[in-house]
Structure 1
């Protein structure tokens, strides 16, 4: 992997168009199949949104999926913990998948915010840094109470989207 590679992005595909005002916002989702070694398989079906308070959202626990960045489709785990008051912490671990075996393993900590309709995670510190990689953030719209799918945007110009399930 060349220097300057980026360590974060999402499942191949695109983002659906925004719904008209007053209509439910579907979960952003991957388009196409995901054949993963590092994580779980992808389901391209969108899930309708539901309104709820941050306290009723449970995004804690282990999530597995993929993202796309400069190095290509990459598998990752996301372990999210509730810190209280809408704050969360996370550890993002990434690595190779069957279709992209050259991606090295890496891990870093993140801090974030859980709002009624979104989750934002910002990079904090490397735990295991592969040469030439940078940390990236994640932003997702929440599909409803206790969602089993999170998908959204990887916040780096060299990246696109991510999708994880639990």
Structure 2
């Protein structure tokens, strides 16, 4: 009788969840995300963000800050295909920092967990002693994108605005 009662109490606790409400946000299982043939991160989910990726196509200009100081930045975002867009990251001197060389590299751009990620791929024009960087945009609007420079020591932020056509 004692084991039956204990078993019944256990079943009731499991079914009712001990009467507690658990607060939180549902997160996708990272192992369930599929990125066949893609170089996208394997964690998180690819979803649209506050501005659909298709609306971000075009040329964006601004600056970013790394060890060399403020640097001119042009992001050219191409038409999105399968939730990702090719982007060319081009950099160079600013009036206040004329010694920065010009360079450029390809990136993959996609939303991951509603955050716009620009992930380095390959060099187009590499100046000596420069490394590719990634960008994580935490503020995305139809006419401006800003956020953090990641995976690079001495780098902080970037901001760009869309060129008017």
**Structure 2: distance between partners of 1:72 and 1:103:** 9
- What TM-score does the superposition give when structure 2 sets the normalisation length? 0.63
Do 2:50 and 2:140's aligned partners in 1 also have CA atoms closer than 8 Å? no
Per-residue CA deviation, residues 33-90 of structure 1 (Å, 9 max, x unaligned), is xxxxxxxxxxxxxxxxxx9666475111000000000000000100011332321110
Q: 2:155 aligns with which of 140, 156, 159?
A: 159
Aligned-CA RMSD value: 2.1
Q: Structure 2 stretches of 5 or more lacking a match?
A: 1-47
Matches within 5 A, 1:121-140: 121-140=118-137
* 4+ runs deviating over 3 angstroms: 51-57
Q: Structure 1 stretches of 5 or more lacking a match?
A: 1-50
Structure (1 or 2) with the greater helix fraction = 2
1:116 offset after TM fit, Å?
7.3
**Structure 2: distance between partners of 1:119 and 1:54:** 10
Q: Which residue of 1 aligns with 2:61?
A: 64
Structure 1 56/75 Cα, relative in aligned 2: closer, same or farther at 3 Å? closer
Do 2:91 and 2:104's aligned partners in 1 also have CA atoms closer than 8 Å? yes
**Structure 1: distance between partners of 2:113 and 2:120:** 21
Structure 1 131/52 Cα, relative in aligned 2: closer, same or farther at 3 Å? closer
Matches within 5 A, 1:88-99: 88-99=85-96
Secondary structure of 2:119's counterpart equals strand
- What TM-score does the superposition give when structure 1 sets the normalisation length? 0.62
